[in-house]
Amino acid sequence: MNTQPKRVLLLTSKLGYQARAFADAARRLGAEVVFATDRCRHLDDPWRDAALPLHFERPAEAAAEIARAAAQAPIHAILALGDHPLAAAAHAARSLGLPYNSPESVEAARNKLRQRERLRAAGLPVPDFFSFSLSEDIERVLPRVHFPCVVKPLMLSMSQGVVRANDAAEFRGAVARIRALVESPEIQVTREEGLDHLLVESYIPGDEVALEGLLEDGRLSTLALFDKPDPLEGPYFEETIYVTPSRLPVAVQGAIVRCAQRSITALGLSRGPLHAEFRVNERGPWVLELQPRPIGGLCARALRFGPHLMALEELLCRHALGEDVAAFEREPAASGVMMIPVPHSGIFEGVEGLEEAARVPGIESVEITARLHDYVAAWPEGASYLGFIFARDSGPAGPATVESGLRAAHACLHFDLRPRLPVEHPLAHRAEHG
């Protein structure tokens, strides 16, 4: 009898807390974990974990590398964490004969313009949109814009580079700011396609929600529907509070789930985790974005399933390994997370009020993930939070109590973010002063 453990391949751009949580979950199930990342193959292994070095922006080549590794030691399941590795994971799964989303469906989902085009063609409710090249004269672009609008890069995630503009002056400013972001070394090193184009969409007012789901043969199982109680009206769209279960009317929640299923079908997605964002107003749900990946950062800690309160990471690992997880429902208690916003860019030098925040009723933990002395950027340039606050409540007013607890805990925290001093070249200083 073959007693060799199954092997799970985790594709991730960085070995952060999310990757470690999934690796720990897989190991608890008795599986071996193999990491694959887009670090340079010519450098020493900085993680000391024998991670496969891949180029995620060349997914077919990445898949061939994974297939060569699998010939030596079989891979039984693939999970991609974040947007950047999704295409490589899909190509690898196809080459290995593993159940996964097709490369075509992942490519359609990953690129914001292609996703909009696919959903519009299927009759889904999406905002009006068009794309333009950063090489175009902005004055020739302006006649096509209807205000208010939202301007965004085609490939970045976490609302990075997403800016609302209410008039022509704000539009020019938004384009200049996004251009500086996508042309920065930090973004260019990702080698993402489409960094020279921007997407312009009509602004859709309304409440915003997030759906966490799981796909099997193209059918959606809703794991959680999160309300986002903070008004996300711009000019930037940094997310903060997620609370589940949703307090929207049952009929509205049903409409969101049906809209999500239609969108999944239109994109051709078929298997694995799904994270989707919607706006809801008097006309119903509008699709903002769907991505075939789990919720990011530490946010998964807000979700637990089944009688033993299984973590989301374990649920997704079980599913990837071929287990039937349909019986595991989210716990009855309300839960929520606050992604601690960055009030302004600066060097993180510390935080006060942690003990006071942890004593707020319903707060389970306060996790500061920003590293001391690191520079933290605020939105729209930012893409990482200062940390996370988690709350739960099993009472009849659970979601409202969770929300108020998160706000109260956040009010206790005071962050020290200091300006980053400009670096002056010593030769320039010497020339200036003779």
| pLDDT per position as a tens digit, 35-73 | 999 865 544 444 455 789 999 999 999 999 999 999 999
112 burial (CB, 10 Å; 0-12 / 13-18 / 19+) is buried
Question: What's the rounded mean pLDDT across residues 362-370?
Answer: 97
Q: Are strands 207-216 and 219-228 parallel, antiparallel or unpaired?
A: antiparallel
Tokens of 332: 């009855």
Question: What's the rounded mean pLDDT across residues 113-140?
Answer: 97
Residue 63 three-state SS: helix
**pLDDT of 137-195, one tens digit each?**
999 999 999 999 999 999 988 899 999 999 999 999 999 999 999 999 988 887 888 89
Residue 274 three-state SS: strand
CA dihedral 313, 363, 339, 326 (to 10 degrees): 30
**What is the predicted pLDDT for the residue at 432?**
41
Share above pLDDT 90 across residues of the chain, in percent, rounded to a whole number: 87
**Taking 70 as the threshold, does the pLDDT of residue 425 lie above it?**
no
User: What CA–CA distances, in Å, run from 220 to 114, 181, 350, 423?
Assistant: 21, 35, 42, 51
* Bond from prior residue into 235 cis (ω within 30 degrees of 0): yes
Q: What is the CA radius of gyration of the chain?
A: 22
Residue 64 three-state SS: helix
**pLDDT of 68-112, one tens digit each?**
999 999 999 999 999 999 999 999 999 999 999 999 999 999 999
**What is the predicted pLDDT for the residue at 13?**
84
Tokens of 24: 């720990």
Q: Which amino acid is at 194?
A: G
**What is the predicted pLDDT for the residue at 297?**
87
How far, in Å, CA of 265 to CA of 180, rounded?
A: 36
How far, in Å, CA of 275 to CA of 300, rounded?
A: 11
Of the pLDDT bands very low, low, confident and very high (cuts 50, 70, 90), residue 122 is very high
**pLDDT of 201-253, one tens digit each?**
999 999 999 999 999 999 999 999 999 999 999 999 999 999 999 999 999 99
Of the pLDDT bands very low, low, confident and very high (cuts 50, 70, 90), residue 300 is very high
**What is the predicted pLDDT for the residue at 421?**
76
Q: Are strands 197-202 and 241-244 parallel, antiparallel or unpaired?
A: unpaired
Report whether 274 contacts 214 (CB < 8 A). yes
Q: pTM for this structure?
A: 0.93
- What number does CATH give the domain 128-202? 3.30.1490.20
Per-residue buried b or exposed e for 58-78, using 16+ beta carbons within 10 Å of the residue's own CB: bbeebbebbeebbeeeebbbb
Share above pLDDT 70 across residues of the chain, in percent, rounded to a whole number: 94
**What is the predicted pLDDT for the residue at 192?**
81
CATH topology of domain 7-101: Rossmann fold (3.40.50)
> Could you give the angle at the alpha carbon of 276 between the alpha carbons of 232 and 367, nearest 5°?
65
Phi, psi of 242 (to 5 degrees): -120, 130
**What is the predicted pLDDT for the residue at 46?**
46
Average pLDDT, the chain: 93
Query: Residue 363: which of 385, 343, 336 has the closest Cα?
Result: 336
First to last CA, the chain: 81
**What is the predicted pLDDT for the residue at 39?**
62
What is 332-434's CATH number, 3.20.20.140, 3.40.80.10, 3.40.50.300, 3.30.470.20?
3.30.470.20
**pLDDT of 253-276, one tens digit each?**
999 999 999 999 999 999 999 999
**Taking 80 as the threshold, does the pLDDT of residue 132 lie above it?**
yes
How far, in Å, CA of 68 to CA of 336, rounded?
A: 42
**Taking 90 as the threshold, does the pLDDT of residue 3 lie above it?**
no
How far, in Å, CA of 237 to CA of 159, rounded?
A: 6
Tokens of 140: 């020739």
Domain spans in the chain, listed from the N-terminal domain onward? 7-101, 128-202, 332-434
